[in-house]
Amino acid sequence: MKLNIAFLQLLPEGSLTENMNKGIIACRRAKEKGADIALFPEMWSTGYRFSHDKDVLERTAITADSPFVRAYSELAAELEMAIAVTLLEKHEPKPKNTVCLFDRHGNLVFKYSKVHICDFGEEDDEGVLDAGDRFFSETLETGKGNIKVGAMICYDREFPESARIMMLQGTELILVPNACPMEINRLSQLRGRAYENMLAIATCNYPSPHPDCNGHSTLFDGVVYMPGISGSRDTCVFEAGCEEGIYVATLDVDMLREYRQREVWGKVNRRPELYGIMAEEER
pLDDT tens, 67-86? 999 999 999 999 999 999 99
**Global confidence as pTM:** 0.96
- Helix and strand numbers (H, E) in the chain are 6, 12
Average pLDDT on 164-188 reads 96
Asked whether the predicted pLDDT for residue 212 surpasses 90, the reply is yes
Average pLDDT on 255-260 reads 96
Q: Which of 159-173, 190-204, 257-271 has the lowest mean pLDDT?
A: 257-271
Q: Which of 215, 236, 212 is nearest to 224 (CA)?
A: 236
Backbone angles phi, psi at 99, to 5 degrees: -125, 135
pLDDT at position 247: 98
CA distance 35 to 173: 15
Cβ burial of 199 (10 Å; 0-12, 13-18, 19+) is buried
Of the pLDDT bands very low, low, confident and very high (cuts 50, 70, 90), residue 123 is low
Asked whether the predicted pLDDT for residue 267 surpasses 60, the reply is yes
Query: Mean pLDDT in the chain?
Result: 95
Asked whether the predicted pLDDT for residue 213 surpasses 80, the reply is yes
pLDDT at position 194: 97
If one compares 153 and 276, the residue with the highest pLDDT of the two is 153
Asked whether the predicted pLDDT for residue 268 surpasses 90, the reply is no
CA distance 254 to 65: 35
Q: Which of 272, 46, 24, 277 is nearest to 164 (CA)?
A: 272
Asked whether the predicted pLDDT for residue 5 surpasses 60, the reply is yes
Average pLDDT on 230-239 reads 93
pLDDT at position 274: 85
Asked whether the predicted pLDDT for residue 182 surpasses 80, the reply is yes
User: For residue 282, what are the CA distances in angstroms to 57, 125, 175, 225, 279?
Assistant: 31, 22, 29, 38, 9
Please list the alpha-helical segments (H only) found in 169-246: 184-197
Asked whether the predicted pLDDT for residue 252 surpasses 80, the reply is yes
pLDDT at position 246: 98
Asked whether the predicted pLDDT for residue 276 surpasses 90, the reply is no
List the strands of the sheet with 138-142, edge to edge: 138-142, 145-151, 173-177, 200-204, 218-220, 236-239
